[in-house]
Amino acid sequence: MNIYCLRYGLSQTQFDSPHGLQNIENLSTASDMAKLSAICMQNEVFKRIVSTKYYECEIRQVKNITEILKSIAMTQSNGQLP
């Protein structure tokens, strides 16, 4: 993600992870996020997804969502829950 930020001139943005997903160490400005949003909107698939107002799907089965979320949190915090 940081390579893309440099490429697109987002000089006030630094991602702590390769994917850029939520992380307390990610830093940016509103201006850079507005620029990034405009860049992303040029991608037709992204544009269609974020423009979707409603989406219905059938939930077939959810097994212990708490354990799934704990597993994700532990992975992100190097094995220690916050």
Could you report the per-residue pLDDT of 18-30, keeping only the tens digit for each? Answer: 766 777 788 999 9
Model pLDDT, residue 75: 75
Checking 25-33 for CB contacts under 8 A at 24+ apart, the result is: 32/5
Whether pLDDT at 14 is above 60? yes
Per residue in 28-61, pLDDT (tens digit) is 999 999 999 999 999 999 999 999 999 888 877 7
**Per-residue pLDDT at 81 exceeds 60:** no
Rounded Cα gap, residues 5 and 29, in angstroms: 12
pTM, entire model: 0.59
* The token pair that represents 18 in the structure block: 């390769």
What per-residue confidence (pLDDT) applies to 7? Answer: 94
